[in-house]
Amino acid sequence: MPNREPLQTNQEALESSREFAENFAKIAARSQELVTEFLASQQPTHIDPDPATVARTFMELMNKMMADPARIIEAQAALWKNYMDLWQNAARRAGGEEIAPMVVPDAADKRFKSEEWSQNQIFDYIKQSYLLTANWLQDTVAEVEGLDKQTRKKADFYTKLYTDAMSPSNFFWSNPDVLKTTMESKGKNLVQGLENMLDDMKRTKGTISPKMTDDAAFEIGRNIAVTPGKVIFQNDLMQLIQYEPTTKEVYKRPLLITPPWINKFYILDLKSENSFIKWCVDQGYTVFIISWVNPDERHVDKTFESYMSEGILAALDAIEQSIGETEVTAIGYCIGGTLMAATLAYLAAIGEDRIKAVTFFAAQLDFEEAGDLLVFTDEDHIQLVESKMKGGYLEGKEMANTFNLLRSNDLIWSFVVNNYLLGKTPFPFDLLYWNSDATNMPHKMHSFYLRNMYQKNLLRQAGSLTLGGQPIDLSKVTTPVFIQASKEDHIAPFKSVFKNLKLFGGPAELMLAGSGHIAGVINHPDAKKYQHWTNTKKKEYASAEDWFADATQHPGSWWPYWDKWLSKKSGPKVPARDPAKGKLKPIEDAPGSYVKVKAKPYADMTE
């Protein structure tokens, strides 16, 4: 009987080639559609200014570098030596020798996790060549002398953005996972990737902004932000939510939480198993939280002071009206913590002592070492931001883009690879849904915040800011303070938050959590993740490093430790309070309607 296997193999190869050809024909058609969509969305009469003064920064950098040509030659020689050593190592490895890599990715770098990046000699060479070049470029820029502090910070930041963008993991021909998927799917991944890109461009009117998660998988009030409660008060700027008790008795002093208005409050209530709000309710606290409005044209006159008077102060009044308590404890998260500190100083100035204990989550009050965000707060950039607030508010996508740039590998390029090169649908992830749920910001408030906090750093200076007609001074605040910082926080760095210890006139305790700006705060004890550091020594420390050297490390969540601190300052136990039976008639169920308002869709942003 004749052997038909070669014929079958040829037929399979022919069919495979035909499928590849069909898919690449689809790619060509979709590519044309992408180009047409992009060109149709552009406005040639409008030329956006350099969004981050990149050109000016690198012009100044090059001028300083050219002043010392010997150093340039020395740096070039070092780079070429690294290349030669890498080439020799590759040749020796090809000959069968075991050769240790010259450079390895950071342990947290997810771009090169695939085994192919190490086991395949070609991709290992590409990876090491890239890492050597990226590290050399960043080190060379960092060593340039004569740059002022702000220019140096911008040069370092933009250089990292560039090196991240040029990673071989971001390109079809140099990513082994993409090549493997393309061969296995016969190009279907690229067809689907172009479909994903086309959908994104239609959604964003010509902007390539990959989706981070499946938005349809989540609904606020259905499967996120589901802790039971009632909206008991609202005004133009916020809704105040009171949560239903789960214990028969509660602490007498209620807990008021002031979240940031840059994002929505439900980061503290994503789901029951990691909800900080539910956990606090279960510990016996009467929890109130401010849910900020998503501003539009109606809020153009709202100021930083408005957020104090119509936010925190209005919430204090509403709590008193509803349950009769004049004394509370409070939490301020991120920019909500900045507002809380300013409000404490205002209350001290007018002689009121309504807040008896305050906790700050990842909040900055001294902005001298405020991290990468300082790149976006010089005068040029603030003027650019103000020019974009033509409707009286900054569109939520602008701040979202800024925060994504701070972690471009995780929040931009990983989704470019996943959605466009691998052709996958983003995984449903509640945290990324929250991260994509952008909020707008009123012009006057946001400009005040950027100029007076980040740029001029006035909050730390006694009497330099005036709120409600009162010059404020943080040193006049004698309220006990608990300060939470996170070890890997890139938005509110530990060094920056540490400075809060020395700003108040009363007792202050610092606690350092593992992880970053979000996971360092949202770390339920049941998860048994990360760690935290405490330092109760009665001494002053000159720096965050000195404090950390004396600190004690503990496994797991810091929430129980904080609970011991707050419970002692929350008064005796009283019968639990039902928000449906307070003196203020409930308006609607939690999480309320304000949090469900989306930032203006891209379709309206081009009008």
Specify the DSSP element, H or E, that contains 291.
strand 287-292
Q: How far is CA 156 from CA 58, 140, 147, 176, 483, in A?
A: 10, 10, 11, 29, 30
Which residues lie closer than 8 Å to 297 by C-beta, 6 or more apart?
A: 391, 392, 393
Paired strand residues for 511? 484, 534
Per DSSP bridges, beta strands 466-467 and 470-471 are: antiparallel
State how far the Cα of 228 lies from the Cα of 355, in Å rounded to an integer: 25
- Say whether 90 sits in a helix, a strand or coil: helix
Q: How far is CA 32 from CA 29, 35, 43, 250, in A?
A: 5, 5, 19, 64
CB 500 within 8 Å of CB 508: yes
Paired strand residues for 575? 249
Surface-to-core class of residue 27, CB atoms within 10 Å of its CB (0-12 exposed, 13-18 middle, 19+ buried): middle
Residue 178: closest CA among 187, 121, 144: 187
User: What is the widest separation between alpha-carbon atoms in the chain?
Assistant: 103
State how far the Cα of 541 lies from the Cα of 529, in Å rounded to an integer: 28
- Say whether 241 sits in a helix, a strand or coil: strand
Residues belonging to the active site? 334
State how far the Cα of 436 lies from the Cα of 458, in Å rounded to an integer: 31
Which residues lie closer than 8 Å to 22 by C-beta, 6 or more apart?
A: none
State how far the Cα of 594 lies from the Cα of 607, in Å rounded to an integer: 24
- Say whether 532 sits in a helix, a strand or coil: strand
State how far the Cα of 342 lies from the Cα of 305, in Å rounded to an integer: 9
Q: Other C-beta atoms within 10 Å of 110: how many?
A: 12
Residue 523: closest CA among 300, 352, 303, 270: 270
State how far the Cα of 376 lies from the Cα of 455, in Å rounded to an integer: 10
What backbone torsions phi and psi does residue 484 show, to the nearest 5 degrees? -100, 130
Concatenating the DSSP letter of every residue in 138-150 gives HHHHHT-SS--HH
State how far the Cα of 196 lies from the Cα of 211, in Å rounded to an integer: 9
State how far the Cα of 381 lies from the Cα of 454, in Å rounded to an integer: 12
Residue showing tokens 């030669």: 84
